[in-house]
Amino acid sequence: MKNKFSIILLISSAAWISCSKSNKKSNVVPPTPVSVQEVTKTDAEYYDQFAGTVVAVNTVELRAQVSGFITGIYFKEGEIVPKGKVLYEIDRRLYEAALRQAQANLQSAKASTNRAQKDVDRYSQLLKQDAVARQIYDNAVATLETSQAQIAVAAAQVATARTNLGFAVIRAPFTGRIGISQVRLGAQISVGSTLLNTISSENPIAVDFVVDEGNINRFVLLQNKPIKSDSTFKVKLPDGTNYKYPGLISVIDRGVNDQTGTIRVRIRFPNPKNQLIDGMTCVLNVLNKASGNQIVIPNKAVIEQMGEYFVYVAKDTIAHQLKVKTGPKLNENIV
């Protein structure tokens, strides 16, 4: 059964409350009337706030692995692109020519090897008949081995040329939203140094924040909770509205920053309406571990005296001062 008691709500800070046992003098100030409110324990949720940054779970900067001129752009800026979609094309002609040359070199090496093999076979028969010098046979064998090595070199050149030709077409590495292109048709780009665009995933998305090392165990326990979806983690958007969907701990970073004594934590959220955008700042609310069945009273019922807090409790129509330990404020109330 819940414990119930009444508290006195002071009308003003200068109000006097009667605690007298009896009136001995006729000029005793009469008791000041005050309002009384019965309070009980109730479910109270309150949150600790952290500064958070929205981050994409997957994000990639698109850079070319071959140089040349942009000859094709095949997307609309800001759209969702599926994995494997062709995004950019670099002038392929030089790379197609390089592939054809490498393939021709491979065929030439194979032809040389066939000829060298025939020489070795012929000299081998002549050597058995003592019709040719041993040195001529050995030279033929060496030529065959060199030709075989040339086949391996030429095959590697074909593979390299084919790879470079493939790099001339840049595809989406995963399904995500493509940004504003940093290059236009006809632009000359260099290997690795030219940023073409950035693509990032949107759903799910994450919020990163840092906690001091004294709080690490708290979040480790939250990460290991058997409950997979609740209101432990909530986001307040930059416009002050509360985000609809709760989150879950995705990862706690591998180590503490020795300069700041903090560790990074990542919370993952569903993002079906794209309300959370990569790079956005927000407030992350984390359910305080003391939330639960608590006594909640109006703020105005609490009196502060030299750093301590008191309330007046009504018993038998007489007010008794009671020292209390306060918790977080909940709008017009306090725990």
DSSP assignment string, 309-323: EEEEEEETTEEEEEE
Most confident among 39-53, 155-169, 226-240, 317-331 (mean pLDDT): 155-169
Q: Is the peptide bond before 298 cis (omega within 30 degrees of 0)?
A: no
* Domain 47-90+173-289: assigned CATH number: 2.40.30.170
Q: Report domain extents, the chain.
A: 5-44+293-334, 47-90+173-289, 92-167
How many alpha carbons lie under 13 Å from residue 193 in its C-beta half-sphere? 6
So what's the pLDDT on residue 136? Answer: 85
pTM of the model: 0.69
So what's the pLDDT on residue 228? Answer: 60
So what's the pLDDT on residue 227? Answer: 63
Distance (Å) of CA 29 to CA 35, 46, 54, 293, 303: 19, 42, 62, 40, 22
Given a cut of 70, is residue 206 above it in pLDDT?
Answer: yes
Q: Taking residues 227-231, report their average pLDDT.
A: 66
**In the structure encoding, which two tokens stand for residue 78, read together?**
């800001």
So what's the pLDDT on residue 293? Answer: 67
Q: Taking residues 186-205, report their average pLDDT.
A: 92
Which superfamily, per CATH, for 92-167?
A: Helix hairpin bin (1.10.287.470)
Most confident among 41-50, 141-150, 177-186, 230-239 (mean pLDDT): 177-186
Task: Pick the closest to residue 196 from 57, 55, 53, 68 (CA basis).
Answer: 68
